[in-house]
């Protein structure tokens, strides 16, 4: 089966707070320009719109975005609105609040709890929606998430938000948030190239609690927003990729999905060919031996 014939339903489905989504989704950060969304040359607008529309054609029904995903001339939310509105009934759009940037693109300090309503409303305006399906609180190094998450819980009660998630957290933050309101998903850095015991514990906790775990930088690994580059795990990933005749990126995504039925991948790209490859990763089945090989490389350098 060629990548061009594979759609997102091959990855399976997860119930995200009552919203069924395919486990291969799409991250919108890279639509605005370079890998680091706030740097580099703005993307070609028509190409970014075409990528979004192609993603939906390929069965993607879970898109991750944020109002602070913008470059000099591009806004991820505006691109999504232009490409996909009026939105399909089964399309789930998740966004996040916490960090924010001024009009010049410079990062400001983390939003105060009383500013979060304004940030939610800005996402609503940009996306052209009257509610947001999922909103993550992106923790910005604060010790406790209770006050910020509590503010979002109030907006959920008011009907502006359907479901809540948390991002960039430790296991104790998940426990803290669950004391305040239901959490449908946790978004943290997680990759075969980036071992992290706290992320492993969050993955386990989410599986036990029926909460989605949504890794970011799963393809980029240690390179983060700069992209994958020369890691200690590269040889193992390349060996498995060669065995399947696919790209290393597809192996990284497949490995991520193999970590549990509650894991949702959101690889991002502004390249239509890479999009097809990423979606096709949902159909790739790694053998037990291949998984053990990748896991061993990960733990030996963790």
Angle, nearest 10°, between helix axes 234-244 and 248-257? 100
Q: How far is CA 187 from CA 90, 91, 202, 271, 274, in A?
A: 21, 19, 10, 24, 22
Domain-embedded: residue 243: no
Is residue 44 included in any domain, yes or no? Answer: yes
Q: What local confidence, expressed as pLDDT, does residue 1 receive? A: 53
Q: Does residue 290 lie within any of the structural domains?
A: no
Task: Kindly state whether residue 86 falls inside one of the protein's structural domains.
Answer: yes
- Asked whether residue 155 is domain-assigned, the answer is yes
Per-residue pLDDT tens digits of the chain, which is 302 residues long: 566 679 999 999 999 999 999 999 999 999 987 555 455 577 899 999 999 999 999 999 999 999 999 887 889 999 999 999 999 999 999 999 998 877 666 777 789 999 999 999 999 999 999 999 999 999 998 999 999 999 999 999 999 999 999 999 999 999 999 999 999 999 999 999 888 999 999 999 999 999 999 999 888 645 444 444 445 578 899 999 999 999 999 999 999 999 999 999 999 999 999 999 999 999 999 999 999 999 988 877 55
Catalytic residue among 69, 136, 190, 217: 69
Instruction: Quote the CA–CA distance of 293 and 70 in Å, as a whole number.
Output: 38
Range(s) of the domain holding residue 152: 14-229+260-282
Residue 42 sits in a domain of what CATH number? 3.20.20.100
Q: Is 217 a catalytic residue?
A: no
* Whole-number CA gyration radius for the chain: 18
pTM (two decimals): 0.92
Residue 244 belongs to some domain of the structure: no
| Beta carbons of 251 and 284 less than 8 angstroms apart | yes
- CA pair distance 164, 162, nearest whole angstrom: 7
302 assigned to some structural domain: no
CA contacts within 13 A on the Cβ side of 61: 20
289 in a domain, yes or no?
no
Contact criterion met (CB below 8 Å) for 65 and 76? yes
Phi, psi of 180 (to 5 degrees): -105, -45
| Under 8 Å between Cβ of 131 and 155 | no
pLDDT at 114: 96
How many domains are contained in the chain? 1
């Amino acid at each position: 089966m060629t990548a061009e014939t594979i759609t997102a339903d091959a990855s399976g489905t997860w119930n995200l707070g009552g919203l069924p989504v395919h486990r291969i989704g799409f991250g919108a950060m890279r639509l605005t320009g370079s890998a680091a969304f706030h740097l580099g040359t703005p993307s070609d607008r028509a190409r970014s719109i075409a990528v979004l529309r192609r993603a939906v054609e390929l069965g993607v029904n879970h898109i991750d975005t944020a109002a602070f995903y913008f470059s000099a001339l591009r806004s991820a939310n505006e691109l999504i609105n232009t490409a996909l509105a009026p939105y399909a009934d089964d399309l789930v759009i998740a966004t996040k609040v916490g960090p924010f940037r001024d009009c010049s693109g410079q990062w400001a300090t983390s939003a105060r709890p009383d500013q979060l309503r304004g940030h939610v409303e800005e996402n609503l305006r940009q996306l052209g929606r009257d509610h947001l399906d999922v909103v993550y609180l992106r923790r910005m190094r604060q010790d406790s998430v209770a006050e910020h998450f509590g503010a979002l819980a109030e907006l959920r009660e008011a009907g502006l938000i359907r479901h809540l998630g948390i991002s960039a957290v430790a296991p104790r933050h998940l426990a803290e948030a669950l004391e305040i309101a239901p959490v449908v998903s946790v978004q943290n850095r997680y990759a075969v190239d980036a071992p992290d015991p706290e992320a492993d514990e969050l993955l386990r906790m989410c599986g036990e609690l029926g909460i989605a775990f949504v890794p970011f930088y799963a393809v980029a690994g240690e390179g983060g927003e700069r992209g994958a580059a020369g890691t200690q795990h590269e040889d193992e990933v390349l060996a498995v990729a060669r065995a399947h005749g696919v790209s290393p990126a597809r192996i990284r995504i497949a490995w991520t999905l193999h970590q549990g039925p509650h894991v949702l991948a959101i690889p991002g790209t502004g390249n239509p060919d890479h999009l097809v490859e990423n979606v096709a990763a949902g159909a790739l089945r790694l053998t037990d031996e291949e998984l053990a090989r990748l896991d061993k490389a990960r733990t030996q350098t963790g």
